[in-house]
Chains A and B, each alone.
Chain A
Amino acid sequence: MSESIEDIEIQLLLDAVYRHYHYDFRHYARASIKRRLLQARSQWGYDSISDIQSAVLHDENILPQLLNFLTVQVSEMFRDPSYFRALREKVVPHLRTYPSLKVWVAGCSHGEELYSLAILFAEEGLFERTIFYATDINPAALRAAQAGIYPLDRIQLFTENHRLSGGHSSLSDHYTADYDRAVFSKSLRERTVFSDHSLVTDSAFGEMHLISCRNVLIYFDRELQDRVVGLFGESLVRGGFLGIGSKESLRFSEHADLFAEFVREERIYRRSAQ
């Protein structure tokens, strides 16, 4: 089929956002970007994607809202508990051998993955020797991650996930409950650097021992996935660990040979020695 007008408009909008704001969505998986832009259009009552383009170019206040459509903020603490259990049982014993540790949570969204790791590291006695880097491109998400406040009605799920992950503290030790929100304790983030970092356009910034980047790669096309996997390779110490989402894989990546499968079912990889 020839390219539809909508597809042309989407391409032009993404080009415009990149040229004016340097946010690069041009190699995101197009089908979900399209779905979300059509949602934005109907929610804002515009007739076309071109109207969004015009609005975002002429009014900087639109950009944060557009970012909320272009990036997906869905997460939960200890999401896929078996992943965290595998980190605890299989990766932590290796991490213990290092005197100091760096952990990168790439695409940290509202911080659920970061707090999960911080709690896990505290439970395993590694917290004091670790620096966490939590990065995202969405400034609103980073602010939420820094605040560490979640609606109380999500806590039951988080608690259950935490238990299934093999947690040996009580999740309630780590937050205080308001009438409708749970505020996670400041000490959990005192060793975290929050920063704006794009996996698409920014480079490596340190030698990590563990990178956890779950459900971010699925939003990229294959070419961009390759770039990011290469970036992770550069960012890890030899023998360092990479965990990705439970339905993601390095199988289709050209840098797959930088990594060896470490816990196959949980998509935990290890940076090869060479």
Chain B
Amino acid sequence: MTLQAVVIGTSAGGVQALSQVLPRLPADFPAPVLVVVHVPPRLSNSLVDLFAAKCRLPVKEAEDKEPLAPGTIYFAPPDYHVLVEASGTIALSSDEHVNHSRPAIDVLFESAADAFGPELVGIVMTGANSDGAQGLRAVCAAGGQGLVQIPATAEVATMPEAALSACPDARTMALERIVPALEAMIAR
């Protein structure tokens, strides 16, 4: 299949969890990867630096009206929602908090589901709230793939559990399995 994008959402324990996934992405990974992590605004700036040092793919903060580039990891900027337009560009918004969060995972996932339909993978990992559950449901409803960290392996299981109950079609897996699973999808 052609994979147009990967979207990832995580909260409490997320930085650790992402460290198990993003650095494993190969340098020739063909799709853009968009990431929402709930962290206090100041910390999320340094996320870009942290992961840029660890990853083979370029890592940057998502910018408004920026066209998505293949093999690039985009982090949501502090205090803004990130949406994807059907044209494949990024749109930021300073709308109200959703699920007490800005950026919110649901906002990214729902817009990406709308833009990319079946050619999207949504991934929900550790976190102590239920943001991302509705979003993952939208990804699956549009024919995309949902992946969820096995709740028992998550630092906080609430978010993976919520995602699974909203989206029972999603596959659960350990963090180490996520990148191989993505690669397998591309190879097919």
Contacts and interface: CB of A to CB of B under 8 A. Distances in A.
B66 interface: yes
Contact of A247 (B80, B96, B115): B80
Nearest to A6: B114
Contacts of A1: 86, 117
Q: Which of A1, A31, A32 has the most CB of B within 10 A?
A: A31
A34 interface: yes
Interface string A34-70: 1110000000000000000000000000000000000
A205 interface: no
A185 interface: no
Given A74-B96, A247-B63, A252-B66, A35 B107 contact: yes
B120 to A, nearest CB: 11
Given A35-B107, A247-B80, A248-B64, A218 B86 contact: no
B77 interface: yes
B83 A72 contact: no
Contacts of B63: 247, 249, 251
Interface string B83-100: 111100101111110000
Given A74-B95, A252-B65, A31 B77 contact: no
Contacts of B11: none
Interface string A252-265: 10000000000000
B111 interface: yes
B131 interface: no
Interface in A179-227: 215, 217-219, 221-222, 225
A247 B64 contact: yes
A215 B95 CA distance: 10
Contacts of B91: 29, 31-32, 218
Nearest to B93: A32
A222 to B, nearest CB: 5
Given A29-B85, A218-B93, A247-B92, A35 B110 contact: yes
A72 B111 contact: no
Given A1-B117, A247-B80, A32 B95 contact: yes
Contacts, number: 65
Contacts of B114: 4, 31, 34
B93 A219 contact: yes
A166 interface: no
A30 interface: yes
Given A32-B93, A74-B96, A215-B94, A247 B77 contact: yes
Nearest to B117: A1
A217 B94 CA distance: 11
A245 B64 CA distance: 11
Contacts of B110: 35
B94 A29 contact: no
B144 to A, nearest CB: 12
22 contacts: A1-B86, A29-B91, A29-B93, A30-B85, A31-B84, A31-B86, A31-B111, A32-B81, A32-B91, A32-B93, A32-B95, A35-B95, A35-B111, A218-B80, A218-B91, A222-B65, A222-B89, A225-B65, A247-B77, A248-B64, A248-B92, A249-B64
Interface of A: 1, 4, 7, 29-32, 34-36, 72, 74, 215, 217-219, 221-222, 225, 245, 247-249, 251-252
Given A32-B91, A218-B91, A247-B63, 8 more contacts: A29-B85, A35-B107, A35-B111, A72-B94, A74-B96, A218-B94, A221-B65, A245-B94
Interface of B: 63-66, 77, 80-81, 83-86, 89, 91-96, 107, 110-111, 114-115, 117
